[in-house]
Amino acid sequence: MEPFEAIVDEHGVVVMRVCRALLGPDDAQDAWSETFLAALRAYPDLRPDSNVRGWLVTIAHRKAVDQIRKMARAPRSSNELPELGTQDDRAEPDRELRAALDALPTKQRGAVIYRYLADLPYSEVGVLLDSSEVAARRSAADGIATLRKTYRKGTE
């Protein structure tokens, strides 16, 4: 079996992309860490013929959902804090793209994230979205079509 460190090196970027797409840049790091902590615990029992990327994205999906649920239950301050800028442009994705992605219906957003950011096959996207492969393909196509209409980077 491959050393776990090699698994992190190979798939860490994809898992971070999924976490950022689902949670945004501020909460992605926690979900990423939780994903690999859970994966480390379960790794010894993973079947040798398993799709490691799909397995990690599934864990990341579940950790992100857990975090979203936790944030929904957390008390919110009545005063809004100003958003702080960042020195590292790579740490914060394009806000307009993020807003366009967030505006998609849940299944379309998930299909776009899992297919195009995590590069999972539609069969696995369908499993993550509790739908069929055909429905996952349709959701991804509809999501991309909507993004093409609503998101215009660099065109004004």
Report all structural domains of the chain as residue ranges with CATH numbers, in order of start: 1-73 (1.10.1740.10), 95-156 (1.10.10.10)
Residue-by-residue pLDDT tens, the chain, 156 positions: 789 999 999 999 999 999 998 888 888 999 999 999 999 999 999 998 999 999 999 999 999 988 888 877 777 665 665 565 554 444 455 778 888 888 999 999 999 999 988 889 999 999 999 999 999 999 999 999 999 888 876 554
pLDDT for res 122: 94
Distance, in Å, from the CA atom of 22 to the CA atom of 31, rounded to the nearest integer, reads 10
Long-range contacts, 8-17 (Cβ 8 Å, 24+): 8/36, 10/52, 11/52, 11/53, 11/56, 12/36, 14/53, 14/56, 14/57, 14/117, 14/118, 14/119, 15/56, 15/57, 15/60, 17/113, 17/117, 17/118
For residue 90, the model assigns a pLDDT of: 47
Overall pTM > 0.75: no
